[in-house]
Structure 1
Amino acid sequence: MKKNIKQINKEAIITCLLYLFYFCWWYYFAYIYKSDTNEFILGLPSWFFYSCVLGLVVINVLVFIAVKCFFKDVDLD
């Protein structure tokens, strides 16, 4: 049972770190990132593209990698 708790805690920490990374990414490109000109990428403002579109793709890839590499099935009974 102690092994399960250790695994669950590890997964919770990884999940929190991924969320914190995504929030920092989104916040930076939504509020801090300033382009000198009004840049558009695929018809979207560059800040929106980087924070919402590219950020979503990046976090999805990171979550997929984290689940495949670090998460394990544990018996909760």
Structure 2
Amino acid sequence: MPQKSWSDLTPTQRRLVVVAGVAETAMTVAALVNLARRPAKAVRGPKAAWAAACFVQPVGPVAYFLVGRR
């Protein structure tokens, strides 16, 4: 199946792609800000590892909020 370009998408599909991108960005920023403000004792595992995991989309930020915080 050939890859679609932006111009091949319908307006609804374009909106969904933009909304998903904004949601992923917001979740990543929220996770990183929360991680930076949280003391190391309140985080399960090394903070640096969680910071790196936050860039694995979309599971990293979700995993941090579900598992990474004490």
Q: Under a length normalisation based on structure 2, what TM-score does the superposition of the two structures give?
A: 0.49
Higher strand share: 1
Which structure's relative contact order is higher, taking Cα pairs within 8 Å and 6+ residues apart? 1
TM-score (norm 1): 0.45
